[in-house]
Structure 1
């Protein structure tokens, strides 16, 4: 069974790979044997992740890229292929949910809506499209990091929820067009303990409301999202495509 999870000889590009969930995904893919390219706008963060992977005996290359810039995306794919020979796994993890995009719909600007959609949805589309030829050649795998907000509604997070619902739809439609050569799946995390949720966890009222809604009664650790990603990237999921794996502590079971 362990051989099914072995990613030796594969190369994975992880967007938003410098911290939090993306960092955990990058290091766990490397631990499973893949060469990993963490990518993000912040060079310092992705270089630290690459150094961590190298120090553990893996292979990594930090490639800065903004997923909203098609030229930067193409460069990231080209550098990955030039260095490692192929792109076998694409993990679309880049995303954000800025404070300015939170609130009642009449209070959120069109600019904020478009900024969130550009990163969370259009960015994933650009990266996946740029990697298409290589993925089809190698029989690769795409894993989109969605959210419980892509499966259910969340109050006061309309641009984010729209972007993640769109990402779930994109996952399903791509899986149809690219089968049988390429598998396309998504992971839908619940609330995860990262630096982006520190303020949320520090607000006792909000924290308790989330825990009461979560059957496992806690936030996830980033590594608990990385595990499902490794599964979907591996031969253990060789008959899985077009699926959304909810890693949400039971949030969507209610």
Structure 2
């Protein structure tokens, strides 16, 4: 397991109250980083996780807000900087499938314009909103950004073709933003495959998932902690890596 002394560093993690986001928070605080945890204000887990981590002796605060709303994002980032005095790391993890069951690629009725607008606003424009708000602080600190994309954005399939398109956009934007933020700030991404125990809203057929992961070289789904390990490396290390997306697919099924 990679470790680093992040004393004095501050991170802002969106979607940080569960799944990969929470695993990232736990990796960061275990290495003495202070963390602003962002999630929806309506999330019952946000305050519960902040309370749990605070009782464990970690320096974290809740920065609630909806990444689909620029005003929410601006207020959340401002709260983090006001409280901690700086911002070194941004993890754009918040996202949504927008559906409780996978949508076939030819089901245009379910993938209507309202569905498109929701997913694009959260999954694609949301990270832009966060980067826009955090950019001056990250540049001042010489920090790093990690976006959470998906193998869906590489044509692996997913909850819907709309979701896949938003994640493909994040992979491209990671490269674009590396130019926008360099040389002070590195911008990278990971593309997770199946996440074991993610609590993901969209539920896939268990038999199909079992068959799929059984064809992977590693024969299992990835754990949130394993995806968090790569994010941690891209934040705390990797000084000459920027504009890249690390594909974390267990070797890929065939």
In terms of fraction of residues, the more helix-rich structure is 1
Contact 1:148 / 1:251 at 8 angstroms: preserved in 2? no
TM-score of the aligned structures, taking structure 1 as reference length? 0.91
With over 3 angstroms needed to count, the CA separation of the structure-2 counterparts of 1:65 and 1:188, relative to structure 1, is same
Matches for 1:87-166 after TM superposition, within 5 Å: 87-99=87-99, 102-105=103-106, 106-107=108-109, 108-154=111-157, 157-166=160-169
Where does structure 1 lack aligned partners over 5 or more consecutive residues? none
With over 3 angstroms needed to count, the CA separation of the structure-2 counterparts of 1:116 and 1:56, relative to structure 1, is same
Residue in structure 1 matched with residue 44 of structure 2 by the alignment: 44
Per-residue CA deviation, residues 198-223 of structure 1 (Å, 9 max, x unaligned), is 843xx343123321342211111111
Which shifted more, 104-113 or 120-129? 104-113
Find out whether 1:219 has 2:221 as its counterpart: yes
Residue in structure 2 matched with residue 179 of structure 1 by the alignment: 182
Distance 1:175 1:156 in 2: 28
Find out whether 1:69 has 2:72 as its counterpart: no
With over 3 angstroms needed to count, the CA separation of the structure-2 counterparts of 1:224 and 1:71, relative to structure 1, is same
Per-residue CA deviation, residues 32-76 of structure 1 (Å, 9 max, x unaligned), is 211011111134311122122222221000111000111110001
How many corresponding residue pairs?
249
Contact 1:104 / 1:156 at 8 angstroms: preserved in 2? no
The secondary structure found in structure 2 opposite 1:12 is strand
With over 3 angstroms needed to count, the CA separation of the structure-2 counterparts of 1:156 and 1:38, relative to structure 1, is closer
Contact 2:97 / 2:159 at 8 angstroms: preserved in 1? no
Distance 1:142 1:204 in 2: 34
Contact 1:141 / 1:183 at 8 angstroms: preserved in 2? yes
Residue in structure 2 matched with residue 170 of structure 1 by the alignment: 173
Contact 1:27 / 1:49 at 8 angstroms: preserved in 2? no
Which shifted more, 224-233 or 191-200? 191-200
Find out whether 1:14 has 2:13 as its counterpart: yes
Give the counterpart of 2:200 among 189, 196, 202. 196
Per-residue CA deviation, residues 62-114 of structure 1 (Å, 9 max, x unaligned), is 11100011111000111001100111100000001122772234232111011
Distance 1:2 1:161 in 2: 30
Distance 2:124 2:140 in 1: 25
Alignment RMSD (CA, Å):
2.0
The secondary structure found in structure 2 opposite 1:160 is helix
Distance 2:210 2:2 in 1: 38
Distance 1:117 1:143 in 2: 19
